[in-house]
Amino acid sequence: MNNKKFKLSGLAVALAAMTGMSASTQAAVELYNDEGTTFSVDGYFNAFYVNRDDKLNDVTNSDVKMGFLPNTIGFNFSKQVGDLTMGGRSSFWTTINDALGEAPGSATDTQIDVRQFYATVDGNFGQVLIGKDFGLYSRSNIFLDEILMGFGSPGLPGGVSFGNIRAGYEYPTPSAQITYRSPDMSGLKVAAGIFEPANTTPGAGSEQSAPRFEAEVTYSADLGGVALTGWVNGRSQKSESTTASVDSTAVGYGLKASMAGLSLAASGYTSDGNNPVLIVNAAAAEEKSDGFLVQGSYTLGANRFVLSYGETDALDTGDFESESTSVALFHDVNSNFKLVAEYNMFETTNTAGATTTDADTIALGAVVTF
C-alpha cells in the first residue's frame, strides 16, 4: 500500500474499506505527515427539512432531521514500517434528531455511537483488519446505493430514516471482526472474516460455539467505455439453546453499470434465520426474507438525478412486505457542499394484506464534507 491521498466526495474515509484501500489513504484533511507517519481527519455533516404525510393515520409532520447517513467525524492513522503499513481509524457517528420531535422519553437526542474503531496491516499479501467495522454481507448493496447521501424511507416510529434498509437490503451492522482483504487482482477483490455472532436463541443454555462468518467478492472492469461493478456477499452462523437451534445464512448480490453520466444498478438478497433489518441479539426462529433494489441515475454537470425502487418480503416473525420509491436530485455546489431534494413513497403491509404504513415524504437537505 502506498501513501497517496485522495479527496472523495461524500463520506470520504467512512466508506474506505468498501474500495479495498485503508482509511488512512483516503483522508480529506491531512494534519501530520513525517517520516512515514500520517494523521488525518474527515467529517460529514447533513441536515434535512422533512415533511411527511402519514396517510394511514391522516397526520402530517414537519421535522428537521439528519439524512440516511448520520453526522460523523473520523480520525485516521498510518505508519510505514519496513514492508508493512500499519493503519487505524476511529469514527464517531451522531444523530442530530432532537427529542422535541420524538415521543416522550426518547433517547435519540444527540446519541453518539462508534461504528468504526479498527487497525489495519497492509502489505503485498493484502490487508488484515482487526477491530470494529461494517460487515461484509450487504456491504456493497448499501454503499453503492444511489440515495446513500439522501433520506429514503421512514425508519421506526420516532427514529432515524432507513434509506433502503428493509426496502431492498439488510444493514451491514458494524461488528467486532478479524477480516482479510486480498490485493486488487486485475479488478477482482476478495474479503473474508470472522465476526462476533448474534444470539438468535436467547434462553437457557444458549451458545454460539463458532464465530459468524462473512465474505464478499467484488469485480470491476471497463468494457468498451462501460464501467461495470459486480458483487456477491454472504453471512453464516449458528446459535443453539436447550430448546432451539437456528442456522442463519444470507446472500447478497448486485451489478452496476455506468457510461457517459448514466448509471444503472440492480441488487438483491435472500436471508434465512436473520432479523430482516439488522443483526440483533433476539430470537430469529427461521426468519425468512428477501428483497431487491433497482436504480437509475443520470449526471448532468453539477446535477445527479436518481430514480429508485426497492422491495422486501419478510415472513414468519417479521411478517411484512414493504416497497419504497424515491425520486431525488443531488446538486453539487462545490466539491464539499451538496444540496439534496427527495420525494419518497413508502408502504408496508402484513401477510394478511393489511396496510401498516403508508407515508409520502419530502426531504430537502444540505450535506457538507471535509
Q: Report the 3 state secondary structure along 156-195.
A: CCCCCCCECECCCECCCCCEEEEEEECCCECCEEEEEEEE
Determine, yes or no, domain membership for 225: yes
- What CATH number is given to the structural domain containing 322? 2.40.160.10
Give me the pLDDT at residue 287, please: 74
Selection from 220, 244, 221, 247 nearest residue 231 by Cα: 220
Domain count, the chain: 1
Determine, yes or no, domain membership for 218: yes
Give the mean model confidence (pLDDT) for residues 129-158: 91
Does the pLDDT at position 4 exceed 70? Answer: no
Determine, yes or no, domain membership for 1: no
Give the mean model confidence (pLDDT) for residues 14-36: 58
Determine, yes or no, domain membership for 278: yes
Asked if residue 257 lies in contact with residue 227, where contact means CB atoms within 8 angstroms, the answer is yes
Determine, yes or no, domain membership for 3: no
Averaged pLDDT score across all residues of the chain: 87
Determine, yes or no, domain membership for 4: no
For 233-251, the pLDDT digits (tens) are 999 999 999 998 999 999 9
Task: Name which residue leads in pLDDT, 54 or 7.
Answer: 54
Selection from 306, 354, 317, 228 nearest residue 68 by Cα: 306
Does the pLDDT at position 159 exceed 70? Answer: no
Give percent above pLDDT 70 in the chain. 87
Give the mean model confidence (pLDDT) for residues 32-41: 92
- 3-class SS of residue 41: strand
For 47-71, the pLDDT digits (tens) are 999 999 999 999 999 999 999 999 9
Can you give the length of the chain in residues? 370
Confirm whether pTM is higher than 0.75: yes
For 186-196, the pLDDT digits (tens) are 999 999 999 99
Does the pLDDT at position 278 exceed 90? Answer: no
Separation of alpha carbons 92 and 97, rounded Å = 16
Asked if residue 161 lies in contact with residue 145, where contact means CB atoms within 8 angstroms, the answer is no
Give me the pLDDT at residue 180, please: 98
Report CA-CA distances (Å) from 261 to 41, 74, 198: 31, 30, 41
Determine, yes or no, domain membership for 303: yes
Residue with cell 502489505: 123
For 86-103, the pLDDT digits (tens) are 999 999 988 888 765 555
Give me the pLDDT at residue 338, please: 95
Give me the pLDDT at residue 280, please: 84
Determine, yes or no, domain membership for 29: yes
Does the pLDDT at position 107 exceed 80? Answer: no
Structural domain of residue 23, as residue ranges?
12-369
Give me the pLDDT at residue 111, please: 73
Does the pLDDT at position 27 exceed 80? Answer: no
Give me the pLDDT at residue 141, please: 96
